[in-house]
Amino acid sequence: MQLFSILAAMPLIASVPVARIVPTDPLLYEVDASTGRMTFMVTGMETNGCDIVAEVDGYPLGPMSEGAHELTVRLVSRTDGAVKLSNRYPIVAKRIRKNKAFGRRLNNFVTEVLREPLSNGERIFENPRDGWVFIGFDRPYPKTRAFLDGNADPVVTWRADEPSETMRWLPEGTHRIRIEGADEGGTLSVRLVKPLKITARTFANEKTDISIGRQGYGWDFFRRHLLHSFNSLTMGGNWRLKSAEGHMAWGNAELLKRGKRLMAATDIRPGDAALRADREGMRGKFAKYAAYLDGLALEMDENKVNAGHSEMDAFAEAVWELAVSGDPRPVYVDYCDLPSVTLTNVDAQVSAISATLNTGRGHGMLVPEMYLGTRRTLKDMLRQEEMAVEYIRSLRSVMPSAPSHTIHLLGGWLTLGEWTSDSSSEADIKVLYDRYVRRLATDPEFADVGGLGMSTLACDEEIARWVGILAHHYCIEGRTDSLAERYGWKYCTGIVKNGDFIEALKHWTAESAEPDGISHMRRHGYGGKRGQCRMARTTMESGENFALFRRSAKAPNRLSQKIEGLVPGGLYKLVYATADYDDVLKPGGKRPSPNNLIVSVSNAVMLSDLSWITEVPDAKTAARAAKKGAAPHCVTVTHRCVFRASSATAELTFDDSPAAPGVRTLLNYISVTPYTAASAASVSESSIHEKGKTE
């Protein structure tokens, strides 16, 4: 049945809550044939004086034969037997494996089912469920290939600058691997893994060459550093598989050849309550996405976990139609109001959650935007982790299978002036990500973790590469040791002190050409939507404090600090933010220069090829906004410099010599963190040099 006809039959406006008897455990496609046990929740209406009565193929719910059946569930009055509500669902009964250990569980993400010396010939392995399976060699072998289930094309083959491995979505059952061209030595591994999702629309074709600073950030970057660490790719809305644009067709074909799941993405903005309640609008929202109609799975972004009936019913009913249709393509639903809330509005949300999980024949996924942000102290950061734990607990209490269908989306929006969860200059977000993914991999609270996700639309190349490394380490290799601890990294580096000027100019030495040449200032709200757009809601991390330079005609002003804790020979990333203060006070005038401050680091060599600036909004974006009549936004300039330290200490100095007399320049967000260098073996341990060493 086509999506158009499914949605066309639905009422247009949800004026009252939609009542439904919602199956909450197990999923419709995972019913235990030996018991037939199922639980339900009634939403959208009162149930006093009523019982839920369930039948399968016209018989009372109970033990049944394996295979497909029809479930009818009714809400029946105890007094007169009247049916108040009725729903029908397709179900699949299976022989459920109970308490049977399968393979070798490496961590919460990974179970190893085969590990053998790499040699020519055929092997057999068992996949106990429909799901993702990793097949790989311990290192790249130019002549060695792996073939799966008798197919003529290899699933593992040699590619320059890539590991020899793949991930494939395989049905439950027995599978065969044939190895050809193997030399002596080496290891073959087969592991059960989880959905690993990344936003890939900027990388997905050979013609794309997105640049951030001086770094190419297109297809070649993607295939070398990220592609092998993820199996599910968000592609955007209208990327047709048979597009007239040849490079788009090539990109999709190549990804499909590599076994990737491609997601057609759409969204409803958080404030679009009217559209959420408008079923005709919802129909159009789905129907216009050509890639979905061409066969891609669907990702629905910007939902709210605690929205009410008026916002959720149209969406839930539309997804239920997909869930009961038997379409094998799952729906992934992103929730944008986490991790600050738990599941409290159960009556409105449980129908949407159950519908989502039951799409794709029981393979739909919830994608809460955890977006953990840096905080000044480890204690404050850990509070966010506990919020995520509470969310999973509340989700499990409503639908026991939901945590195993939950992809934890780390974030990736890390651009000052646009939106960033990297709110504290005193912390290293790489350590935060490592700690959280390790907890997902090892904590019993996440024993049934569903998967991991990352958006890379607005982060620099180092963070993108680091997420690929983490995903591979924990979610594919099945490791439990901390990468950050191995490399000697700390959450709060302590290299730069008071980099956000929260303590005024403490730890800094100011040399002013005239009185007030350098001063501490605080501007309420500057770190928010009309300024740096930091996610943190607390004053301490919000970017409201800064040092203000006022260029003198006599001489430049200088601000310096002795930084400590460097490893000689190590690579480090210096980041700081500047803005023209007059532009902050009244944006929209003459575009300010991004280079009113210069920086120097003694006892170090600056690596210019790895250093750049980012202006938000850039000139083109600002011009488009002005043409549309949007309110102007002040320009935030983020500076990134990578240097090699030659001593354990250095002098970090800023001066405003490039600025014209009278120009006022704002400075904050100063941080120095160990830099992860790229290498050809992009996801192997050699791509990170221990404790910052590069040789």
CATH number at residue 126: 2.60.120.380
Q: What is the pTM of this model?
A: 0.91
Is 557 inside a domain boundary?
yes
Residue 22 lies in a domain: yes
Same-domain pairing of 514 and 596: yes
User: Do residue 149 and residue 41 come from a single domain?
Assistant: no
Q: Is residue 491 part of a domain?
A: no
The rounded distance, in Å, linking the Cα atoms of 284 and 684 is: 45
Q: How many CB atoms lie within 10 A of CB 396?
A: 17
Do residues 348 and 308 lie in contact, with contact meaning Cβ atoms separated by under 8 Å?
yes
Per-residue tokens: 475: 């979610």
pLDDT per position as a tens digit, 541-585: 679 999 999 999 999 999 999 999 999 999 999 999 999 999 999
Q: What is the pLDDT of residue 284?
A: 63
Q: Which of 435, 452, 486 is the last residue in one of the domains?
A: 486
- Do 600 and 453 share a structural domain? no
- Please give the pLDDT value at position 687: 31
Question: Confidence band (pLDDT; 50, 70, 90) for 291?
Answer: low
Q: Is residue 369 part of a domain?
A: yes
444 plus 539 within the same structural domain: no
**Region 445-450 average pLDDT:** 96
Percentage of the chain exceeding pLDDT 70: 82
* 495 occurs within a structural domain: no
Q: Which domain holds residue 274?
A: 199-234+258-486
CATH of the domain at 48: 2.60.40.1080
Are 42 and 174 contained in the same domain? no
Contacts of 198 (CB under 8 A, 6+ apart): 226, 229, 230, 232, 233, 234, 453, 454, 455, 456, 467
CATH code for the domain in which residue 213 is found: 3.20.20
Indicate whether 124 and 140 sit together in one domain. Answer: yes
187 and 308 belong to one structural domain:
no
Q: Please give the average per-residue pLDDT across 663-676, as a whole number.
A: 97
Residues 297 and 418 in one domain: yes
- Residue pair 273/311 in contact by the 8 Å Cβ criterion: yes
Query: Which of 317-326, 454-463, 625-634, 647-656 has the least mean pLDDT?
Result: 454-463
444: pLDDT confidence band, cut at 50, 70 and 90? very high
Tell whether 183 and 206 lie within a shared domain: no
Residue 282 lies in a domain: yes
Contacts of 100 (CB under 8 A, 6+ apart): none
Pairing of strands 187-192, 121-127: unpaired
Taking every pair of Cα atoms in the chain, the longest distance, rounded to a whole number of angstroms, is 94
DSSP 8-class letter at 174: E
Q: Same structural domain for residues 367 and 428?
A: yes
- The answer to whether residues 68 and 138 belong to one domain is no
- Per-residue pLDDT band for 612 (boundaries 50, 70, 90) equals confident
Contacts of 319 (CB under 8 A, 6+ apart): 331, 333, 352, 355, 356, 359, 364
> Is residue 414 one of the residues assigned to a domain?
yes
Number of residues written out for the chain: 695
CA dist., res. 370 & res. 390, Å (int): 12
Return the CATH number at 645.
2.60.120
460 lies in the same domain as 601: no
Domain end (from 61, 94, 127)? 94
Q: Which residues contact 234 (CB under 8 A, 6 or more apart)?
A: 197, 198, 199, 200, 201, 263, 265, 299, 455
pLDDT in tens, 144-161: 999 999 999 999 999 999
Beta bridge partners of 534: 420
Query: Structurally, how many domains does the chain consist of?
Result: 4
569 domain-assigned: yes
Higher pLDDT, 420 or 474: 474
By the 8 A CB rule, do 671 and 574 touch?
Answer: yes
Domain edge (last residue) among 164, 192, 220? 192
Distances, alpha carbon 620 to alpha carbons 100, 213, 578, 616, in Å: 59, 16, 20, 10
